[in-house]
Amino acid sequence: MKGSEQLFKKAQRYIPGGVNSPVRAFRAVGGTPLFIQRAQGARIWDVDDNEYIDYVASWGPMILGHAHPQVVQALQRAVERGTSYGAPTALEVELAALIVEAIPSVESVRMVNSGTEAVMSAIRLARGWTKRDKVIKFEGCYHGHSDGLLVKAGSGATTFGQPDSPGVPADYARNTLLAPFNDLDAVTGLVKDNPGQIACIVVEPVAGNMGVITPQEGFLEGLRKVCDQEGICLIFDEVITGFRVGWSGAQGLYGVTPDLTCLGKIIGGGLPVGAFGGRREIMENLAPAGGVYQAGTLAGNPLAMTAGIETLKLLKEAGVYEHLEEKAAYLCTEAEKVAHSSKTSTYCTRVGSMFCTFFTPGPVVDYDSAKQSDIDAFRRYFWALLKGGIYVAPSQFEAGFLSLAHTDEDIEKTLAALHGAFQAAS
């Protein structure tokens, strides 16, 4: 790792913490982060030319694998036509049409540049539509780094709206109310205590930022019912799950329809992108059709639109998600057997091709139960896997992702490495 160590040392001179997104710094596992120089299919290579089977997948978007030939060729053609116009293009219309076709709850969609921007804008739109200010979010669900969503977990935050980051005004954060994930009673209690004040409930339908935590039976349905009864806008943050757990996202998988949906990651094919969309009567409140303002110079960027279009075209082909499901089910089932044989205390979760191994006997249903995980065990597990040529997220509280590029050979090599990794963790 000599090259990565040298680059990290240099990076810390010019970049806060040496990275441009905090989890990349490896603080949760210790040591020096890998600096990556290239990727192909299911594999990445660091600057020292070490090769790894990749289950980070750029935190989810590389569902086709890295540098898919069809995406690369389309991008090469697009670059020759220019990288940004600041004007409408046919590409924006084509990608928007694909999203509307795939996700029945989305009748109209606005392109933005990131998942953070998508959720921030959707909440502003919900507030403009409902003429209300307060937002309910769930402890441990991450919706980007906009001020109103960086609120400390726990009873203190629920009561006082204490921000979780310096620089976030307490007065602003007071409009954000917290409930535990999967706790419908807590939600109804907040609604009762704040009558006529809740603009929206924002939720990851599958929590993907505290590991992978699935919605318990009736939870999402209950949120829909509460929102219908109280005139509240239901926002699904499907930045991770959109086109990852199925063609119609988590809402298609669980059969619950939100009012607004936030997307990112896969719809840009690995390029920076975000989007939010929903019912036309709500979306028409957005400028220039309505008075709720939102804008972005690079929104609908032709390169991101091109990569997204090619990616969604490939995902639309028959049998794609069934193939992903089959491979992911095999990997996770066999991994559980390995963990059990090594007598390692774990709790494994999976939805489609996203998965997590918690180092706790479980069950894991919310942020508090996720925090019971043995972080030191995960750290030993992470470094043992890396030594075996397997790259997973450097944090217990992140998801793993399988791609269409992972071969049977890749999966078998991963399972072989897991034997030593679970033994190191135990």
Name every residue whose Cβ is closer than 8 Å to that of residue 335 and which is 6 or more positions away in sequence.
348, 357, 414, 415, 418
| DSSP secondary structure string for all residues of 37-100 | EEEEBTEEEETT--EEEESSGGGTT-TT-BT-HHHHHHHHHHHHT-S--SS--HHHHHHHHHHH
What is the C-alpha separation between 262 and 278, in angstroms, rounded?
9
* Backbone phi, psi, residue 348, to 5°: -105, 140
Write the CB contacts of 255 (distance below 8 Å, at least 6 apart in sequence). Answer: none
Which of 46, 52, 134, 142 does the annotation list as catalytic? 142
Residues 6 or more apart whose Cβ sits within 8 Å of residue 331: 355, 402, 411, 414, 415
Q: Which of 265, 321, 347, 410 is catalytic?
A: 265
Residue 422 is which amino acid? F
Burial class (CB in 10 A: 0-12, 13-18, 19+), 178: buried
Cα 62 from chain centroid (whole Å):
12
Runs of H (alpha helix) within 284-319: 302-315
237 given a catalytic annotation:
yes
Helices 375-387, 408-425: axis angle to 10 degrees equals 140
Report the distance separating Cα 124 and Cα 146, nearest Å.
11
Q: Which residue in the list 54, 237, 259, 374 is annotated as catalytic?
A: 237
Which residue from 97, 84, 171 is spatially nearest to 134, judged by alpha carbons?
171
Measure the CA–CA gap between 413 and 401, rounded to whole angstroms: 16
For residue 418, with 0-12 CB atoms within 10 Å meaning exposed, 13-18 middle and 19 or more buried, which class applies? buried
The conformation of residue 268, written as its DSSP 8-state character, comes to G
> Annotated active-site positions, please?
142, 237, 265
